[in-house]
Amino acid sequence: MSLVLAGVRYRYAGSRTDALHGIDLEVPSGSVTGLVGPNEAGKSTICLAAAGLAPATIGGHLEGVVSIDGVESSSARPHELAQRCGILFQNPATQLSGTAPTVWEEVAFGPRNLALPGDDVVERVTDALAALGIESLAERDPTRLSGGQAQLVALAGILALRPALVILDEPTSQLDPQGTRMVGEALRRLVRENRTAILVVEHKTALLDQLADRVAVVDQGRLIREGPTDEVLSDPALSEHGVEPPPRVRVRSALAGAGLRTPREADVLIAELTR
């Protein structure tokens, strides 16, 4: 079991109310859990708690248990946590080191801080850039990238760390459809080849539909629902929690709702078209 949150309550420093009200969530090794919910539901806060940044780095008060690979985050040192868990923030501008002259050096920043041998660093950086199709950015200045490019470079920096747990807060928000597909493929490969556990916040339910094993719905700091992806994303109650169902589910509902196809017929047709 890679990531476990048990009864996690969290209150930001200076706040009078809890942002999370008792979250129980497990993300096993070699699997992807998608986190969905309306804006300000607590999704990013769950990411910060899961990564051990809340409260260790940003303050506040946490009750309950967060553990990564059986080690409680509260008893681990920051550098130990950093080796186990990589987190990608919502805004790549807050992620990039600001010290690297090139994208290549930016991606190498993490592995170098793990004191890895030079050859390993080169291999990891090369692999991470290739996995996201951004080899051509290697010599670019990280401060002069578009939002989408910066997002891919920040993600490459996480991939190069090869952590057992990867936490991603809207990793594709600024990406075009092609970039989104490449991120999906890179994450699938990470799970398949390295048995990584991935927790990903994502508004694009079409991506989760293809990527996630399970999906958790969060609203007002509470876990409303958690289950297999197809079950959760097909739930008609999803949109009540500010989550747009994936295209497959929307088209199926539209056809069935108008009495034009049975849900089964619609599923067969959509499966054929999206194969």
Question: Is residue 177 near other proteins by the rule CB under 8 A?
Answer: yes
Question: Is residue 244 near other proteins by the rule CB under 8 A?
Answer: yes
CA dist., res. 212 & res. 46, Å (int): 17
Contact pattern for other proteins over residues 44 through 83, marking x by CB under 8 A:
x---------------------------------------
Question: Is residue 203 near other proteins by the rule CB under 8 A?
Answer: yes
Tell me whether strands 197-201 and 31-36 are parallel, antiparallel or unpaired.
parallel
Question: Is residue 270 near other proteins by the rule CB under 8 A?
Answer: yes
> E strands, the chain, where?
3-11, 20-27, 31-36, 61-68, 71-72, 85-88, 165-169, 197-201, 214-219, 222-228
Q: How far is the CB of 37 from other proteins (least distance, A)?
A: 8
Question: Is residue 268 near other proteins by the rule CB under 8 A?
Answer: no
Q: How far is the CB of 238 from other proteins (least distance, A)?
A: 9
Query: Which is nearest to 132 in space by CA: 194, 213, 187?
Result: 187
**Using CB under 8 A, which of the segments 119-127, 191-199, 227-235, 248-256 binds other proteins?**
248-256
Q: How far is the CB of 34 from other proteins (least distance, A)?
A: 14
Tokens 């196809």 sit at which residue? 261
**79 Cα distance to chain centroid:** 21
Tokens of 19: 């942002």
Q: Which of 78, 98, 101, 147 binds other proteins (CB under 8 A)?
A: 147
Burial (CB count within 10 angstroms: exposed 0-12, middle 13-18, buried 19+), residue 264: exposed
Within positions 81 to 140, which residues make up the interface with other proteins, using CB under 8 A? 90-91, 93
Count of beta carbons in the 10 Å neighbourhood of residue 232: 24
Amino acid identity of residue 166, one-letter, is V
Which residues in this chain contact other proteins in the complex, by CB under 8 A? 37-40, 44, 90-91, 93, 146-149, 170, 173-180, 203, 239, 242-244, 247-248, 250-251, 254-255, 257-258, 260, 269-270, 272-274
